[in-house]
Structure 1
Amino acid sequence: MHILLVGSGGREHSLAWKIAKSPLLKRFTIVPGNPGTESLGDNLDMPLGELPQWAKAEGVDLVVVGPEAPLADGLADQLEEAGIPCFGPKADGARLESSKAFLKDLCTEAGIPTARYGTFTEAAPAKAFLDTLEAPYVIKADGLAAGKGVIIAQTRDVAETAIAGMLGGQFGAAGKTVLIEEFLKGTELSVFAVTDGESLLHFGAAQDHKRAFENDEGPNTGGMGGFSPSPLDTPEILARAYDEIIEPTLKALNAKGITYRGVLYAGLMITAEGPKLIEYNCRFGDPECQILMRRLRSDIVQSLWAAATGRLGGVGLDWMDDAAANIVMATKGYPDGYDKGSEIKGVDAANEMEGVVVFHAGTKADGGKLLAHGGRVLNITATGATTGEALDRAYAAVDAIDWPEGFFRADIGKHLRS
């Protein structure tokens, strides 16, 4: 098969790493890719608007879309028109992530457990809704904001400032509508399923840490690290997640005439009453995808192809008993302003350590040097017999990397480490 993977981050590097192991693969193109994917396939820098025509001319059999923005913009729709199977939903299904208001309304219609909410386009009614809630307050930009459009406001003043900022253009068009939610108490868990629009394939779970700094302080990010398995993903919790949240979501989408093919990534809060939905993403999580790819023993191409072509029924997955962890190394200043171009050393040495694979997330090759070229720059992943061992190995590899301009959270899964 000729497979084309869209994306340039750590999620896409881990997908490329796994796809490249498939015996079904004959040709592999990554658009645009990154320095880490160069050895796995052919990196190609091409405008996404040209991709469907190029893919058809080059005999691409399957397109796998990593990030959410191309899906929200209708890339899967364009590929369908070109007759090319795509792993990733069309724009109507991608609204699960591209419009938080659409998602919450769907939850109400389907009876899916979630936080109480209100949606607003003007500041006055939004601030009035705060009167019905207790601090802290959850303020969200309705549209896509690269994982940064959620503010947990500990005080009323901070909440009102967040509302004014979003409606005032802080996140551009993504913040024209603001969603305000009650704060759910509990611990977050990411649960994944792959679907062809009818069948569901359980695709693992992972625990993610989204705050920038240790002790879950600082602004929300796209994710600073995670691990799997987690003490939270018990058979009971996972069964409730599928029965009460994921399966009703697929049925609700079908009732709207939406055929959803790709990943249903449910971001859950495990509360005293059980799992409740915080958000959906229409693609694999980042940093969770890296963790799942390290644990998956099966040929991933089989499930991606089956989901994209409506043939998922009967497909199963084989998982390693080993645990996996991912520590994100980011440029100082992230998720706010940060500088690019600092040199990173020691990645090769880290990759040689037992159980370790380093995935590139925001790097640039410059001659013989590796430079930081983004906010989240490296994903240091490791496997181990236990989650604690996987975390210990990942942190040992972090210590092997020489990058003074980078930072990481030293407390990912700290309660599980030896």
Structure 2
Amino acid sequence: AIAYLDAQNRYPTVIKADGLALGKGVVIPENREDAVRAIHSMMEEGQFGESGRRVVIEEFLQGIEVSVLSFTDGKIVVPMVASMDHKRAHDHDEGLNTGGMGTIAPHPLFTPEVEARCMKEIFLPTIEAMKKEGREFRGCLYFGLMLCADGPKVIEYNCRFGDPETQVVLPLLDGDLLDIMRATAEGRLSDVAVGRKPGAAACVIIASGGYPLSYQKGYPIHGLDANGQAPGVTVYHAGTQCRDGQYLNNGGRVLGVTAVGETLRQALDTAYCAVKAIGFQDSFYRTDIGAKVL
């Protein structure tokens, strides 16, 4: 791995654990020293367990990230509204990669023209290639894209809904989710309506201090009602525990505070208004979700 790094000699670079790592198995070293340290940490010290015993080294791409969750029955691809995730732990895209610190939808830069290009060059060729390999896929196919200067590039695929993308995508889905999922599984996706509601959605993650590294659990959470919710928003629980009627933090990403509005600005304002009233000891959140596209 280090020999390959030296042969490429190009920084920043991207080093990924080859297995599942809860969205945290990616390091973007700025120089050789940091890259070598990351490789030793993954492959020899077991930072990500067996998932990091092998690594993938990739070119660093510069651009705007787009997450496109889509339904496919192996014949057609029907994308839901595109969203934008924020992977780094802290404001201005600083800090370590995480499972996602917040999302917005729709993605303002994923225009109809860009979507049409992705359908022609990425979405449909992907399902056709899987069919040719005898692996026809039916379900939710997640396209992780980067909008670069020379066009959209594929960063990753996932055969599932994404977190925290789903929190902002499903509120804007116009259609019966159960009917859509059944049609997808039965190979008749073209028979059901899959639309997009007007408006926008935003999700802000409240995390435990220290995440995505070590953090303390068991702190009481304030600002939630008896059902774990707050006024004007939907609060998705990712890492909580309820003990004797009191919600406690019990994970790294603890809560996903999600709001819907007529505009992205309105959705973000509503989400952040709720976030400011919710918290626990050492909790933190990014204050710039969606800022780069407003």
What is the TM-score when the length of structure 2 is the normalising length? 0.94
Equivalent residue for 1:353?
231
| 2:128 aligned residue | 251
In 2, distance between residues paired with 1:312 and 1:203?
A: 13
- Aligned with 1:236: secondary structure? helix
Q: Distance in 2 between matches of 1:265 and 1:130?
A: 33
Indicate which of 174, 182, 185 corresponds to 2:51.
174
- The CA distance in 2 between the partners of 1:133 and 1:314, in whole Å, is 51
Q: Distance in 1 between matches of 2:281 and 2:184?
A: 43
Please say if residues 226 and 287 of structure 1, whose CA atoms lie closer than 8 Å, have aligned partners that are also in contact: yes
User: 2:72 touches 2:140 (CA, 8 Å); kept in 1?
Assistant: yes
Offset at 1:133?
Answer: 4.2
Pick one of 24, 27, 36 that aligns with 1:160.
36
Contact 2:82 2:110 in 1 (8 A): yes
- 2:291 is aligned to 414
Q: Which residue of 1 aligns with 2:270?
A: 393
Alignment partner of 2:192: what SS?
coil
> Is 1:305 aligned to residue 182 of structure 2?
yes
- Closer, same or farther: CA 392–127 of 1 in aligned 2, 3 Å: farther
1:142 aligned onto 2:18: yes
Shift of 1:352: 4.9
- CA drift of 1:246 comes to 1.6
Give the drift of 1:308: 1.9
Classify 1:399/1:167 alpha carbon distance in 2 versus 1 (closer, same or farther; 3 Å). same
User: After TM superposition, what 4+ stretches of structure 1 lie above 6 angstroms from structure 2?
Assistant: none
Does 2:147 match 1:266? Answer: no
Secondary structure of 1:259's partner? coil
Where in structure 2 are the equivalents of 1:5-154 lying within 5 Å?
123=1, 126-154=2-30
Specify the alignment match of 1:207 in structure 2: 84
Change (3 A) 1:413 1:210: same
Equivalent pair of 2:76/2:124 in contact (CA under 8 Å)? no
Partner secondary structure for residue 279 of structure 1: strand
**Does the CA-based 8 Å contact 1:142-1:175 persist in structure 2?**
yes
2:28 is paired with a residue whose SS is strand
AA at the equivalent of 1:156: R
SS of the aligned residue for 1:157 comes to: helix
For the 8 Å contact 1:387–1:416, the answer to whether it is kept is no
Structure 1 residues without counterparts, runs of 5 or longer: 1-122
Question: What is residue 192 of structure 2 aligned with on the other side?
Answer: 315
Residues 354-398 of structure 1: per-residue CA shift (max 9 Å, x gap): 3x1111111111011011111111000001111111001100010
1:241 lines up with 2:114 in the alignment: no
Give the Cα–Cα distance (whole angstroms) in 2 for the partners of residues 404 and 296 of structure 1. Answer: 35
Larger relative helix fraction: 1
Task: Check conservation: 2:65, 2:84, Cα contact below 8 A.
Answer: yes
Q: Which runs of 5+ in 2 are unaligned?
A: none
Give CA-to-partner distance per residue, 1:286-325, whole Å, 9 cap, x none. 1100001221232111111111222212322122211000
State how 1:362-377 maps to structure 2 within 5 Å.
362-377=239-254
Amino acid across the alignment from 1:197: G
Q: Distance in 2 between matches of 1:389 and 1:380?
A: 14
Q: What percent of counterpart residues are identical?
A: 49
Question: Do the aligned partners of 2:81 and 2:173 also contact (CA within 8 Å) in 1?
Answer: no
Partner residue of 1:330?
207
Q: Aligned-pair distance for 1:415?
A: 4.4
Farther off after superposition, 319-328 or 300-309: 300-309
Alpha-carbon distance change, 402 to 159 in structure 1, aligned in 2, over 3 angstroms = closer
The corresponding residue for 1:53 is none
Partner Cα separation in structure 1 for residue 39 and residue 268 of structure 2: 38
Contact 1:246/1:264 (<8 A) preserved: no
- State the AA in 2 paired with 1:343: P
CA drift at 1:263: 1.3
| Alignment correspondent of 1:71 | none
Q: State the AA in 2 paired with 1:148.
A: K
What secondary structure, in the 3-state scheme, does the structure 2 residue paired with 1:407 have? coil
Distance, in Å, in 1 between the alignment partners of 2:100 and 2:255 is 12
Cα deviation digits, residues 15-50 of structure 1 (max 9, x gap): xxxxxxxxxxxxxxxxxxxxxxxxxxxxxxxxxxxx
Q: TM-score, normalised by structure 1?
A: 0.67
In structure 1, the partner of 2:65 is 188
Q: Aligned letter for 2:231? A: M
SS in 1 for 2:10: coil
Q: Distance in 2 between matches of 1:152 and 1:338?
A: 22
Contact 1:363–1:370 (8 Å) recurs in 2: yes
Aligned-partner Cα distance in 1 for 2:9–2:140: 33
Equivalent residues, number: 292
| 8 A contact 1:191–1:205 mirrored in 2 | yes
Q: Which moved more, 1:312-321 or 1:174-183?
A: 312-321
